Structure 1
Amino acid sequence: MLQIIELTGGNIIATKASGKLKKEDMEKIHPLIHAILDKGMKVRWYFEMEDFTGWDLPGFWEDLKIDTTHAQDYEKIVMVGGKKWQDWITQFMKPFTNAEVKYYDLEDRETAKKWIKK
């Protein structure tokens, strides 16, 4: 499941992922991205993962389509999680975007929120 959380506003999209993400979850993000782009701004995405187990295949495909379509539209991406593979995903995506990309552990989520707002 993907929840939109309170940090969202301006050019920030803030989400919290848990369980397995599906295509419908990823489709929630696309209108938010376009609302920011329509204002002439780049997107900052705060992506928190708690009890997150990954994507089902259609969800992964939708996420990949969104990310490749909008690779140049991101300014900053911060991923917050508690598992080594989540940090690995963060490192893996860096060459595919011009955005600043960082990873923080869950206990450092407040620092991550401050960073995405700067």
Structure 2
Amino acid sequence: MDTQRHGITIGIERIGLESILVFKATGKLTHEDYKAIIPVLDSSLKGIDPKHVKMLVDITEFSGWELRAAWDDFQLGLKVGFKIEKVAIYGDKNWQEMAAKIGSWFLSGEMLSFGDYESAAVWLVD
């Protein structure tokens, strides 16, 4: 059996005194992945202070999007509507630094790319 894992997991992680919204993208994301995550995201965001959001995005197992899913991702970013203070993307993709630069155009806060979890976490709580 050839199983291809894909999807988005979301959680809240404590780093020091900070509550960080954590996303992990796995495999090639589909439109159905975004349809499944929206209710979970809405529920998770109810416990977050909308004036102070920090996000950690793990793309170490991410391999891309189907075309419609890329559009879903863009719309999801607009939908969040929170004042995002910082977003740290970490992984080993050659395009992630460019994605962080482009993503920062659409955010009120900062977005940076990192090669490892530890560097990303330190920057978020700094």
What's the TM-score once normalised by structure 2's chain length?
A: 0.72
Match for residue 117 of structure 2? Answer: 109
* Structure with more helix by fraction: 1
Q: Say if 1:61 and 1:20 are closer, same or farther in 2 by CA, change over 3 A.
A: same
Q: In 1, Cα distance between the equivalents of 2:105 and 2:92?
A: 22
2:73 maps to which of 59, 63, 66: 63
- Give the letter aligned to residue 35 of structure 1: G
Shift of 1:92: 1.2
Q: CA RMSD in A?
A: 2.5
Look up the SS of the partner of 2:47 in the other structure: helix
* CA shift in 2, pair 1:8/1:17, >3 Å: farther
Unaligned runs of 5+ in 2: 1-6
How far apart, in 1, do the equivalents of 2:51 and 2:33 lie?
23
CA distance in 2, matches of 1:26, 1:115: 28
Equivalent in the alignment of 2:4: none
Q: Per the alignment, do residues 54 and 8 of structure 1 end up closer, same or farther by CA in structure 2, a change over 3 Å counting? A: farther
Partner of 1:41: 51
Structure 2: which amino acid aligns with 1:75? E
Q: Secondary structure at the match of 1:35?
A: coil
- Report if the CA contact (8 A) 1:104-1:112 is conserved: yes
- 1:34-75 CA-to-partner distances (Å, cap 9, x unmatched) read 432xx4433211001113111223322221112123355211
